[in-house]
A and B are shown apart, each in its own frame.
Chain A
Amino acid sequence: MAKNLPVVPTAKAGSLAEVPAGITWRIQQPVILETCNMCLDCTLFCPDGALVQQNSKIVLKLNLCKGCGICANECKENAIQMIPEYSGVQGVFR
């Protein structure tokens, strides 16, 4: 039996955010430090919309983050640090 599909090949708006495509590749993730001065630059430099302003904080939506490290590289205050995703007996995947 053929699947029931939309007549016109279409996708539901915004639905990809529910199943983030890239996070399985992530080998590192950002940690936002206290020294953040809320310049908000990282919210516009993140390719994935993973860093968002919530009240007076930058919050990481980990399920969207691919761990590219742009935020840490761009932060003028050095307030973002990348930490390895995996550790333990097998060590860090690099």
Chain B
Amino acid sequence: MKETPFHPRTSELLDSYDWNEWSGWLAANSYELDHSHEYLAIRTSCGVFDTSPLYKYIIHGPDALKLMNRVVTQDVSKYGVGKSMYTPWCDDNGKIIDDGIVARVDEQFFRMTAAEPTLFWLEDNATNLNVTIEDITEAYGIMAMQGPYSRDILNRLTKTDAQGLNYFGLMDIKIAGIPITLSRTGYTGDLGYELWVKADKAVALWDAVFEAGEDYRIRPFGDYALDIARIEAGLLLIDADFHSSKKVMYEHEKTTPLELGLGWTVKLKKDYFVGQKALIEDKKNGLKWKTIGLEIDLKSLEAIYAKYNMPLYLPYQSWTEAVPVYSHGKQIGKATSGTWSPMLKKYIAIARIKPKYASIGNQVEMEVTINAERHNARAKVVKTPFFNPSRKTN
């Protein structure tokens, strides 16, 4: 498997030896055998995550904007230089393929991240357009600094004031003489930044950041901690909360951004984009599914465990295998990922259910399995993000 540009440091720190495979790269699950301190660093001090395995593309040339606007559901023309956006993209049937961040580095120059290989799709859509598309995945490392103290640490590292960088903003800075593209983005729902660095300078950047962060208890975190944070933030995960329509075989496995609660990223009124017609149609006919938050009732869960003379057990690590959601015993959808939230002291889940049951406050049930026996715990439909601190955007 491939090693990311930060590998010399991440591998040194990985006391647990707990790697996973992420798009063919080695990625840390948790650095210590227990992930709780890593998670809390994200919410208390500053955690560092190696996001390098994301697919990375640059798109430039006279028709770059045209291509971007054709592929993604957001209206890219509304974003000026130095701005970035979260956006999904769809196939002709409006089914979601993937999601990622598109950044406008210059008038005719875009940078894009994706969870799945996307070069083919971009090139397919660029027929007859005057645009260059490059896959730069291996050329850069991305380091995410996430947490309430990420800004203080950055301020120690650079003369450029990171304070002024708005949510989803983008700027070029230097850290220890190394050119960095800094964006105020992340996958944790906290105050945070992502730093793009040329692969050969990645280790030097890591060292500078950790030295400056020591006084703020900076620490690296892996996938286990990240997954708890992103569920709290109500952020969806591919292969868990949805699947790429390009990868699955059967219709029922596909879904649309509207059904995923991503309506705010789908600009149906803009010029043509792939999937537009189907999505307009879908919206007109009424959605089949809605994506919502669930809060599992702890008293009801505790009562189920008590039947086994067991104390309440809480999912201390997140799960991403879908489980059925019911209303009065009838299945109405599925919960696609869930976790105990150490910050909120709540058991939360992201679920896709029939719209008529999806109003906030509605009571449903979620399946829990104890000793291979099925039970239904009460749950309540709630708004997402579950956790949304003001520092994220302030």
A and B co-occur in one complex: no
A residues engaging B (CB < 8 A)? none
B residues engaging A (CB < 8 A)? none
